[in-house]
């Protein structure tokens, strides 16, 4: 396995894709708020459908109280609430 991992790393494989995607969407949400004055991204926001879907999913996770059950979500929601 070490050899396979080394081969993936040699071509620039991103092991932290989930973390990177999270941070990218969070940054996009900050930019949206700066431009629009709020974080109410429409579900059909055509200028950035990835952001719209991400916000929709964050709302769903918040509604399901995922932050109480999962330490990763607890940290992520703390970032959103900051």
Q: Which two tokens stand for residue 29?
A: 């949400």
Q: What's the rounded Cα separation, in Å, for the pair 72 and 59?
A: 16
Residue with tokens 């607890």: 74
Over residues 37-42, the mean pLDDT reads 95
**9-13, 18-22, 53-57: the lowest-pLDDT one:** 18-22
Average pLDDT score over residue span 47-73: 81
Contacts of 33 (CB under 8 A, 6+ apart): 39
Structure token pair of residue 72: 């990763």
């Amino acid at each position: 396995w070490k050899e396979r991992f080394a081969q993936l790393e040699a071509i620039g494989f991103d092991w932290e894709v989930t973390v990177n995607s999270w941070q990218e969407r969070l940054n996009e949400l900050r930019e949206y708020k700066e431009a629009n004055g709020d974080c109410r991204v429409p579900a059909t926001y055509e200028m950035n459908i990835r952001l719209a879907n991400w916000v929709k999913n964050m709302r769903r996770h918040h509604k399901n109280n995922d932050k109480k059950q999962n330490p990763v979500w607890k940290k992520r929601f703390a970032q959103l609430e900051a």
